[in-house]
Amino acid sequence: MTMEFRTDKIASRFLGKQISGSELYDSSLLVPIPRAENRQQYNIDSANLPFDGCDVWHAYEFSALTNNGLPVTRLIKLKYSCESEFLVESKSLKLYFNSFNMSRFGDSIAECLSVCKRIIETDLSNALKTNVQINFIENDSERVEIFNNFENILNFVDETSLKIEKFSEAPELLFCNTCNELKTHYLTFDSLRSNCRVTHQPDFGEIFIYYKSDKHIDEASLIKYLCSFRSEYHFHEECCEMIYKRLYDLLKIDENKDELFVCILYTRRGGIDICPVRYSKNCAVLDSEILCDVSKYARKSIRQ
């Protein structure tokens, strides 16, 4: 049975109230959100997605206790497929993780982490009806830099000539030209901003766009389009899919020869960041494989 859970119900449960959550383990705090709510507006067919990809999360403030009361604190990295019917609402995930704070698991640090990993993967997989993988990142884990071959899109325009006037999503701003050959483009923009559609809090991120096509997207038009998200109210994952779909349609992607990749590395808020990744089915950007590997701590900038 498909679960119905609209944002007004999320608001009635968590918003406008003093929420302390629970410091004792409580899986009922998790709130799944149907992806279809937003996809329907952009002609994204969940049964025939125009992309592959996953959602990668980092939770920086996870803590639990061993049976003798010793605190164990770690960074959690988790991921699940964009093919899942649901995504998890971030405030509910934070409250869920906080419910481990005064709960006791295992006689040693290693046993505590092992038990928590099993519980969290099971709870999230059950809530989202998909396979969820998590890993605890240690303090001495290697930091892997990613997306170093992407170039700031502002390098391709005269920023003083830009006139930004629309701050609600405006796909009509986008245009492209046809070229005589397939070319690859690696672009990044570090000033993407949107707003959570539940809390209305601002979300900042750095977006990475790669495409291989015989069409060339005008960089000034792309900047204006990305700026048009500044007053939009959507979840991180939805913004990534919206941008991907607009570019997919603009370029008229032929998956036999063209490639498209969109990833947004959001700045953490409330101790959690979300990094959605979407790419055409024939596209493989090596850095995204590193980002989606829960055993690796992949970073790009100091804002993450």
Whether 275 maps to a domain, the answer reads yes
- Please say if the pLDDT value at position 15 is more than 70: no
Please count the structural domains in the chain: 2
pLDDT at 14: 53
67 belongs to a structural domain: yes
The tens digit of pLDDT for each residue in 30-48 reads 999 999 988 988 889 999 9
* Domain shared by 162 and 120, yes or no: no
Mean pLDDT of the residues in the chain? 91
Percent of the chain predicted with pLDDT > 70: 93
203 is catalytic: yes
In a domain, 2, yes or no: no
Q: Per-residue pLDDT for 3 more than 90?
A: no
Report the distance separating Cα 262 and Cα 104, nearest Å. 40
pLDDT tens digits along 106-158: 999 999 999 999 999 999 999 999 999 999 999 888 889 999 999 999 999 99
**Residues 23 and 139 occupy one common structural domain:** yes
Question: What CATH number does the domain containing 42 carry?
Answer: 3.30.1130.10
Q: What domain range is 115 assigned to?
A: 7-143
The active-site residue out of 82, 116, 123, 203 is: 203
The answer to whether residue 128 sits within a structural domain is yes
| Catalytic site includes residue 55 | no
User: Is the per-residue pLDDT at 72 higher than 80?
Assistant: yes
What pLDDT, in 10s, does the model give residues 103-115?
999 999 999 999 9
Are 265 and 187 part of one and the same domain? yes
pTM of the model: 0.92
d(CA 71, CA 219) in angstroms, rounded, equals 50
Q: Kindly state whether residues 162 and 270 are assigned to the same domain.
A: yes
**Are 24 and 51 in the same domain?**
yes
136 neighbors 74 (Cβ within 8 angstroms): yes
191 in any annotated domain: yes
Closest CA to 179 of 251, 273, 71, 79: 251
> Contact at 8 Å (CB) between 100 and 117?
no
Q: Which is catalytic among the residues 54, 112, 196, 292?
A: 196
Residue at 304 is within a domain: no
The pLDDT confidence band at residue 6, using thresholds 50, 70 and 90, is very low
Query: 1 lies in a domain?
Result: no
Determine the average pLDDT of the residues in 274-280.
Answer: 96
Q: Which of 112, 143, 174 is the last residue of a domain?
A: 143
